[in-house]
Each structure stands twice: as C-alpha cells, then as structure tokens.
A and B are shown apart, each in its own frame.
Chain A
Amino acid sequence: DAGVTQSPTHLIKTRGQHVTLRCSPISGHKSVSWYQQVLGQGPQFIFQYYEKEERGRGNFPDRFSARQFPNYSSELNVNALLLGDSALYLCASSLVHTSTDTQYFGPGTRLTVL
C-alpha cells in the first residue's frame, strides 16, 4: 500500500514569492495535517483538515493557507515568503481527525527561501 506522498521533494524560492505544496494521504484516510519542521526542532502544527473542512489551526500567520479536495488530497499555500519559512514541511494523514488517531507522515518537502 502506498504511504503518504508529497510533492515536490525540494523547492527553492526567493523572498516574496508564493509556494504550493501537495500531499496525498494514505488510501482510506480522511484527515490531513500539515507541520513545519525547522532544523533541529520538532514539527510545529500548522493545519488539520477533515472531510474538506479545517479542523485545527496552529499559530501561523495568515500567509499560510490550506485546503482539502474531495479525494482527500491537500494543498498548503504560503504567500509572501520570508527567509524564516525555510523548513521541512511535513504532511501527515490519519483515518479521522480525533487526537487519539495515529498520524502517519509523508517524506516532506524541503523548502529553501533565498
């Protein structure tokens, strides 16, 4: 069975640009969560979506947005990129959206902002 997939693997952007990251969950999983992981730190929660609705939002500015599609895949958008947005962006899928549900992570997208 395919795990969580993310694209692209790596991305280089300049300050002020915008970026779209994509995620496909494990088949049968209906919830997708996004995390930002800066080198040397644990993942920081950005968003959770379940059945196309936002179910949770972390402490990130409005430049960050996301959505979930009818096939449960998801996109994370970041506008007006800053140098500090350089990080590994992880997508995790789970069966449902409850906090007892194990989350399974994709390989991540490494974003570098120059």
Chain B
Amino acid sequence: GQNIDQPTEMTATEGAIVQINCTYQTSGFNGLFWYQQHAGEAPTFLSYNVLDGLEEKGRFSSFLSRSKGYSYLLLKELQMKDSASYLCAVTPYGQNFVFGPGTRLSVLP
C-alpha cells in the first residue's frame, strides 16, 4: 500500500519562504503531483515531478528524491492569497492518484 505524510498545519509571514514536506512509502510510482486547494474550492494543479531534482515554476518549486521517499514544495515571496491547503499526490504503477492528507498553510501579514 501507500502511506503519504504531510504536516497538518504551517504558518508563515507574508514575503517569507516556506517549505512544505511530503514523505511517502510506496513500492514504485510514476510521478508526484502537488495541488493547491483554497477552502471550499477544488484542487488546482501546481507541479509534477517524474525525475529526481527541482522543478521551478515562478514563485513555486517542487523537489523529488525517489531514493529518500521525499518531496517538498517551496513557496517564495509568500502572499496572503497563498493561504490554502497543499496536497501531495503520488501515482503508483497501475493505480490512480493517491493523495496525502494535505498541509494547511496560513500566511500572516
């Protein structure tokens, strides 16, 4: 089976940098996705990692290390609108998306 862990809640200050971690136990997977979900809304796609390393997309970057079973989402120059839940999901071989519990990020002024 798959087990995905994320911190439940994080708080950061506007303009700062925050790193949201995701650890997983799975025998093999195709890729790892990050989604953002504002309260009461649908998840929106942020990033996708297949290979080890860092993928950068503007203020958001995502990192994957398959050997360590670890990923993180890095958010730079935090804005109030970044307050949301951040969901990590893996796609195990032959299976559909498996989501983690999500990390609720609060950005304070």
Contact = CB atoms under 8 A, between A and B. Distances in A.
Contacts of B94: 99
B43 A99 contact: no
Nearest to B31: A100
Interface string A77-106: 000000000000010000000111011111
A107 B41 contact: yes
Interface residues of B: mostly helix, strand, loop or mixed?
strand
A38 B84 CA distance: 16
Nearest to A55: B96
Interface in A23-76: 33, 35, 40-45, 48, 56, 58
Interface of B: 4, 29-31, 33, 35, 41-45, 48, 50, 87, 89, 91-102
Interface of A: 4, 33, 35, 40-45, 48, 56, 58, 90, 98-100, 102-108
Contact of B99 (A40, A42, A108): A42
Interface of A: prevailing SS:
loop
Contacts of B100: 42
A43 B43 contact: yes
Contact of B42 (A58, A90, A100): A90
Given A43-B43, A90-B42, A104-B45, A99 B95 contact: yes
Contacts of B98: 45
A100 B91 contact: yes
B96 A45 contact: yes
A90 B96 contact: no
A48 B95 CA distance: 10
Nearest to B44: A105
| 6 residue pairs, one from A and one from B, having the closest CB atoms | A42-B99, A99-B91, A105-B42, A56-B96, A99-B30, A45-B96
Given A99-B91, A102-B45, A108-B42, A42 B101 contact: yes
A43 B99 CA distance: 6
Contacts of B102: 40-42
A44 B99 contact: yes
Given A56-B95, A99-B92, A102-B48, A43 B30 contact: no
